[in-house]
Amino acid sequence: MVWTTLSAIFLLVYSAAAHSIRPLVLWHGLGDSYASPGMLEFVSMIKNVHPGIFVHSVYIEEELDKDRQAGFYGNVNEQLDSVANQLATIPELGHGFDAIGFSQGGQFLRAYVERFNNPPIHNLLTFGSQHMGISDIPICRPFDLICQAARRATKQAVYSSWAQANLVQAQYFRDPANLETYIATGSFLPSINNEDPLRHNDTYAKRLASLNGLVLIMFTQDKTVVPKESAWFGSEVVDDLSFTSAQRILRPATGRSIVPMHLQPLYVEDWIGLRTLDEQGKVIFETCEGEHMQISDCWEDFVREWTGEIRIT
């Protein structure tokens, strides 16, 4: 009788705990859609790791082909507004959630934290994301006509007003040899990185610093994201006198060097709360072996450690 009663109590407590697992939000990367076979498989694997977890995959368009196209064409600021409204209407997310961003989805989720964060993100994991932008346009897969057209248009006029309002990759293209133009014309990345002193937003720093953990995952052989260190808030710099040789990771073949996160002005002067977060031990640097988005088994340890926490209410 006593054992039966204890068992019943245990089941009730376990059931309540299972329903209080912190939910998870995913934002897919370039060339993918929110419900592609790959994304659906990943959601299934997460649910195997964390039974009972609620997972939401962010979409711009409900039609899969249009959602994939929105990764190339669209205004990122407007897309963020739409996603913020989307997340705010999902009851399961109301008390906060963890989030995983793949490639460009990572910096978009960081932008969500800085601009909205309601409901709030607890832990944010970004896989191969372009936090300090890209200095070259990613190569397209053969026969990917949408990607090829977007790549040509972006390379031709990356800082034109039309490109900055309509081509997604142009909106986080950061030319190390033309930073003044990048800051003056860029509407997305210079904003979320607080690089324009005339449009500095102190709220961004407060919101980013509210994260419990920011897990930055870089692919060791990434040739799609240039430079790959952008995933760790590193950026290219043209070899001039801006930084001493001791402050760079020199790449002789390109004539450019990498400035790591801890020497970035946005870190040193804490423009976005990154330094505050790091000094609290909440910025985590991780790697996945291989090329861009070759996650293989690399994801599981991160998902186990940083998602699926049971909330006691």
Which residues are designated catalytic?
A: 103, 222, 292
Q: How many DSSP H helices and E strands does the chain contain?
A: 13, 9
**What does the alpha-carbon distance between residue 56 and residue 290 come to, in Å, rounded to a whole number?**
27
**Contact partners, residue 2, CB within 8 Å, separation at least 6:** none
Question: Is 79:60 a contact under the CB 8 Å cutoff?
Answer: yes
Q: What angle do CA 29, 72, 34 make, to 5 degrees?
A: 40
**What does the alpha-carbon distance between residue 188 and residue 309 come to, in Å, rounded to a whole number?**
32
**What does the alpha-carbon distance between residue 219 and residue 294 come to, in Å, rounded to a whole number?**
8
Query: Omega before 227 cis (within 30°)?
Result: yes
**Contact partners, residue 246, CB within 8 Å, separation at least 6:** none
* Residue carrying structure tokens 């808030």: 233
**What does the alpha-carbon distance between residue 202 and residue 236 come to, in Å, rounded to a whole number?**
26
